[in-house]
Chain A
Amino acid sequence: DMKVTQMPRYLIKRMGENVLLECGQDMSHETMYWYRQDPGLGLQLIYISYDVDSNSEGDIPKGYRVSRKKREHFSLILDSAKTNQTSVYFCASSLYGQGAGNTLYFGEGSRLIVV
């Protein structure tokens, strides 16, 4: 069963706390992504990982960092969370890159509230 799993699904943090969002996939996909979804803005790309330790900034990387030490696992880290990072975060994976016609498989999302 091809699946992208995100943990945790819901999270409330205080401003200044660190946040770790985790994502796993069981499809041996090379490429993984982190997006955030905000009302009226659609999906904005935070980071892409092309493989283990091969990460690239997306359109809105400021305030975020990522880690990919195993092909099946991709983490998003917020060091000192800010209230404007309240959002729904989606992880996705694809066999190869986004542009090659490879379908993206999405996780169910992680809703983060920063108070």
Chain B
Amino acid sequence: GEQVEQLPSSLIVQEGASVLINCSYTDSASVYFPWYKQEPGKRLQFIIDIRSNMERKQNQRLTLLFDKKTKHLSLHITATQPGDSAIYFCSASRGSALGRLHFGAGTQLIVIP
């Protein structure tokens, strides 16, 4: 089955820095890749997604890059703020209505003011 791996598992940066979270998957049939964010003690929330027919997607300070050949994604966060402190989850699915999302183990980001 699909395996989703994220690196690094944790990250501590100074406010204002940029960060890169890497994600790789194994199932070449996966076509949809949403990312979720979990702030401390809160529910997971959707932040950005990309489909396999795209290479790049941007949403304000978030940029998601996708490489189908290497089965690799990168989430780039610029100008980090303390409010960005959270666990970020990469996920992958085959795209059908009955398809299932497979989550990575998460990357914990801590932004120091």
Contact = CB atoms under 8 A, between A and B. Distances in A.
Interface string B35-61: 010000011111001010000000000
Contacts of B45: 106
B105 A40 contact: yes
A108 B42 CA distance: 6
Contacts, number: 65
A interface bracket (residues with beta carbon within 8 Å of B): 20 to 34
A97 B105 contact: no
Interface residues of B, number: 27
A104 interface: yes
Contacts of B98: 50, 97, 99
Interface of A: 4, 40-45, 48, 50, 58-59, 90, 92, 96-101, 103-104, 106-109
Interface of B: 1, 4, 9, 32, 34, 36, 42-46, 49, 51, 89, 93-101, 103-106
